[in-house]
Amino acid sequence: MKAMVLERIAPIASSPLRLSDWPEPQPQPGEVRLKVRCCGICRTDLHVIEGELPPLRLPIVPGHQIVGAVDAIGPSCTRFSVGQRVGIAWLRHTCGQCGFCLAGRENLCESSRFTGYHADGGYAEYAAVPEAYAYAIPDAFDDASAAPLLCAGIIGYRALKRSNLPRGGTLAVYGFGSSAHVVLQIAKHRGSRVFVVTRGESHRQLAREMGADWVGENAVDVPESADSAIIFAPAGELVPPALRSLKKGGTLALAGIYMTPVPGMDYERHLFYERNVCSVTANTREDGRELLAEAARIHLRPHTTVYPLGEANRALQDLKGDRIRGSGVLKV
């Protein structure tokens, strides 16, 4: 099969992904194989490629927002049938037996394994996954619209839950990429006001078009205190101003898998009055099922820019350069 393969850690500007002939994955017991139709691109892919996440396996096929049709089924599979449309996300294995798994917090399992990081992902013509970690894709979405929901959507959804946004409250969002533009739609549908801080003019314009109540470039300009906030940008320097802009008792969720160092903070200005800071680590499968169901119910529509598989380097360069409005998707 054809696949975009990462053989060495390198800046994305050097176009390190190579279109290669790669062995087709063979479904093992309990696994299904997909003939991939498309795969979303994600900042986590950049963190893998550029080494901000420690390399675990090289060479590797990146990509973890995969939509395709089941074309082969391993022994003991019962959930899906050949031809069914299925999605593969970041989380692909947990132990199911540790305290975290038994408490419904499988995202914290010490034995977690991830698509496009521990195992080959979706920048390829075929991909395999344990069927217990695959998602049925609602008919409400075409392939390109479904792909970003499988990471950007799921992580945004978990970040929104972690932010403790009250019904009808005000949410401040820092960074307006793939996850944030999904969260905006959910929050607005729930009756919330949403403030967006983002440095790119095209992102600010998209936020306005999608109904943000206030849009600006600088965190210090947020017009009033928010009940909750989410930082999607991997920029630790945003943490202090985001906390300053929270109401008493508000919660700031940090949604990224990677973030630059957080500056020193003043206890009274940033954390006193029971302001909370929480991180977001991967997701549970229940998060994914809830997100897909709500997104279908409210007719959520990701904004997508589609690239051919062979142009994955250019797509990721555009992502890093903030030149994509909404979500980038590779068509296979």
- Look at residue 148 in the predicted model and tell me its pLDDT: 97
Please indicate whether the domains covering 2-150+302-331 and 154-279 agree at the CATH topology level. Answer: no
For 91, the token pair is 């989380």
pLDDT given at position 243: 97
Distance between CA atoms of 14 and 11, rounded to whole angstroms? 6
Residue bearing tokens 């068509």:
331
Token representation of residue 211: 């109904």
| Span 254-266, pLDDT tens digits | 998 899 999 999 9
The CATH code of the domain at 154-279 is 3.40.50.720
207-236 per-position pLDDT tens digit: 999 999 999 999 999 999 999 999 999 999
> Tokens 């009940």 correspond to what residue?
227
Spatial contact of 180 and 230, defined as CB atoms under 8 Å apart: yes
| pTM attached to this predicted model | 0.94
Class of domain 2-150+302-331: alpha beta
Cα separation, 62 vs 48, in Å, equals 8
With a cut of 50, list the residues of the chain below it in pLDDT: none
Q: How far apart are CA 319 and CA 322, in angstroms?
A: 5
pLDDT for position 211: 96
Q: Where are the domains of the chain?
A: 2-150+302-331, 154-279
Q: What's residue 178's pLDDT?
A: 94
